[in-house]
Amino acid sequence: MCGISAYASGNRASYSRAIGRTLSLLIELQHRGQESVGIGVASVSGDIKVVKKGSLVLSLYEEVLGNSNIKEREVFGCIAHTRYSTSGRYGWELAHPELVSGGRLKLAIAFNGNIANYRDLFALARSLAPEYTPSYVENDTQALAYAVYALAKDEGWDVVEALKRLPEYVIGAYSLVALTSEPRLLVARDPRGIRPLAYSYVDKEVYVASETAALQVLDLDWREVRAGEILSFDGSALEVTDSVVAPDPSPCVFEYVYFSRPDSYFNGVSVYLSRLKMGWYLAREAPAEADVVVPVPDSGRIAAIGYSMASGIPLAEGIIVNKYVGRVFISAPDQRDVLSRIKYGVVRPVVEGKRVVVVDDSIVRGTTMRFLLDKLRRGGATKLYVRIASPPFTCPCYMGIDVASRRELLLWSKTSVEEVGRSLGTDSLAYISLRNLELSVGLPKVCHGCFSCSYPFSELRAFDLEKKISR
């Protein structure tokens, strides 16, 4: 999971407008990545400059606005990215965009997703364009950039044709934005549409963001990029085409559970309403005799509202989150333990002497929940009934979540839900069923591999995928 944004104009935008629009969108996507941030800026003449920083988006904004190397140029467009690592080592220098050059084009790419077979993709690049491809890459972003570049060379330096062919070689997910030195802005989503992507086109200006909410905040009318769709903008016209692989929409169900902002739409479905339904179904499936429903902020709040509505148990904010900690789930592994300890505080009058239903979106590693339940006990809660608005997380994800091995999962070492509950310190633990989760979203098909071990790439089993990816 990462956040990407882009802006391009056929009206020769000022530097400050291009940077401001691009990073304003990315600020609205900060929840999708907090390790590092990067931006690529293409001038009207076709030169591309990339700036990266190990910081949040606002810090990059201040630095780039004063960058004398690109400040005085007339800007065609920008692409930007905020990183959550799912492949390769942690480090700000691996932030996107990835810039490739050497041939007739310069190409900068940023993407959201994960390429499970990125080594195969890199081998393809080496075979098609060895003169423009290094001997080694660190992660899937670099492999993707070199593969697209090599395919473009193979297609007479036509990047649109390269993106049409790309899905033939990819096992994984990508929603991407790219700049070329033509100059041109390209936008593409894989044929399974696993990760979100949306855009707005008005008055010869293109805006792109991972989530619809980012565009909506800027008062832009938006449209989602369809699965397998490719957009190309050269400053005069926006052209829309499709990849050679037929679309088979299988969006990530975890976007509805946790990743996406509640004010976003994904595949035409309101994330807010999906989470509300999850809580409603959860209350029907796993009732509890309790005095209060307490959400785990922020991602468990809407499901808790649904649980309260369906059960009739009043809801109260018994847990306060430190907004400056960020999302623990997408933090680097060496930070998760300490951040889990300090992220939450308990409102004692809400829970003291009460039987409490604690509603959260998911349990993956169990790091945060264990510390939180201990705090609630010390805050005076007499009973703790934990209700989770997603099924047990039993398998790795290879499509954009930083869980590449089953050994990372809490359930990997436990034989049952009851054992998980005891290890966390609950009085009872229950999850929503996969069927009711699917009903909450309401789409014909979703990717739920993290819950079912059944992935959209039917030719490969979980064990095969696990061998293809490593940190």
Is the pLDDT assigned to residue 241 strictly greater than 80? Answer: yes
Q: Which residues contact 294 (CB under 8 A, 6 or more apart)?
A: 304, 315, 316, 317, 318, 319, 350, 351, 356, 357, 358, 359, 376
pLDDT of residue 325: 62
Measured distance CA(147)–CA(302) in Å, rounded? 41
Domain spanning 268-462: which CATH class is it, in words?
alpha beta
pLDDT of residue 196: 98
CATH architecture of the domain 3-249 equals: 4-Layer Sandwich (3.60)
Determine whether 2 is an active site residue.
yes
Is the whole-model pTM more than 0.85? yes
Neighbours of 377 (CB within 10 A): 16
* 468 — pLDDT class (breaks 50, 70, 90): low
Q: Strands 98-100, 107-115: parallel, antiparallel or unpaired by DSSP?
A: antiparallel
pLDDT of residue 387: 98
Query: For residue 364, how far is the Cα from the chain centroid?
Result: 16
pLDDT of residue 471: 35
The residues with which 387 forms a beta bridge, in sequence order, are 359, 430
pLDDT of residue 331: 46
Yes or no: say if 397 and 449 are a contact pair by the CB < 8 Å rule.
yes
* 330 — pLDDT class (breaks 50, 70, 90): very low
Q: Which of 26, 7, 29 is nearest to 18 (CA)?
A: 7
* 411 — pLDDT class (breaks 50, 70, 90): low
pLDDT of residue 29: 96
Q: Calculate mean pLDDT across residues 135-150.
A: 95
pLDDT of residue 403: 58
Question: Helices 417-424 and 367-378 meet at what angle, rounded to 10?
Answer: 50
- Dihedrals φ, ψ of 267, to 5°? 60, 40
Yes or no: say if 387 and 359 are a contact pair by the CB < 8 Å rule.
yes
- Give the tokens for residue 245: 């692989």
- Give the tokens for residue 439: 């009903």
pLDDT of residue 90: 52
* 68 — pLDDT class (breaks 50, 70, 90): low
Q: Calculate mean pLDDT across residues 314-318.
A: 98
pLDDT of residue 470: 43
Question: Helices 118-128 and 140-154 meet at what angle, rounded to 10?
Answer: 30
Is the pLDDT assigned to residue 383 strictly greater than 90? Answer: yes
Which stretch of 50-54, 192-196, 247-251, 277-281 has the lowest confidence by average pLDDT?
Answer: 50-54
Looking at the chain, the whole-number percentage of residues with pLDDT higher than 90 is 69
Is the pLDDT assigned to residue 459 strictly greater than 50? Answer: yes
142 compared with 400, residue with greater pLDDT: 142
Average pLDDT score over the chain:
89
* 407 — pLDDT class (breaks 50, 70, 90): low
What residues does each domain of the chain span? 3-249, 268-462
| Active-site entry in 2, 78, 252, 447 | 2
367 compared with 188, residue with greater pLDDT: 188
Yes or no: say if 244 and 164 are a contact pair by the CB < 8 Å rule.
yes
Q: Calculate mean pLDDT across residues 344-359.
A: 97
* 368 — pLDDT class (breaks 50, 70, 90): confident
Task: Report the 3 state secondary structure along the chain.
Answer: CCEEEEEEEEEEECHHHHHHHHHHHHHCCHHHCCCEEEEEEEECCCCEEEEEECCCHHHHHHHHHCCCCCCCCCEEEEEEEEECCCCCCCCHHHCCCEEECCCCCCEEEEEEEEECCHHHHHHHHHHHCHHHCCCCCCCHHHHHHHHHHHHHHHCCCCHHHHHHHHHHCCCEEEEEEEEECCCEEEEEECCCCCCCCEEEEECCEEEEECCHHHHHHCCCCCEECCCCEEEEECCCCEEEEECCCCCCCCCEHHHHHHHCCCCCEECCEEHHHHHHHHHHHHHHHCCCCCCEEEECCCCCHHHHHHHHHHHCCCECCCEEECCCCCCHHHCCHHHHHHHHHHCEEECHHHHCCCEEEEEECCCCCCHHHHHHHHHHHHCCCCEEEEEECCCCCCCCECCCCCECCHHHCHHHHCCCHHHHHHHHCCCEEEECCHHHHHHHHCCCCCECHHHHCCCCCCCCCHHHHHHHCCC
Q: Name the one residue in this structure whose structure tokens are 């595949």.
A: 267
- Give the tokens for residue 42: 């293409």
170 compared with 413, residue with greater pLDDT: 170
Is the pLDDT assigned to residue 366 strictly greater than 60? Answer: yes
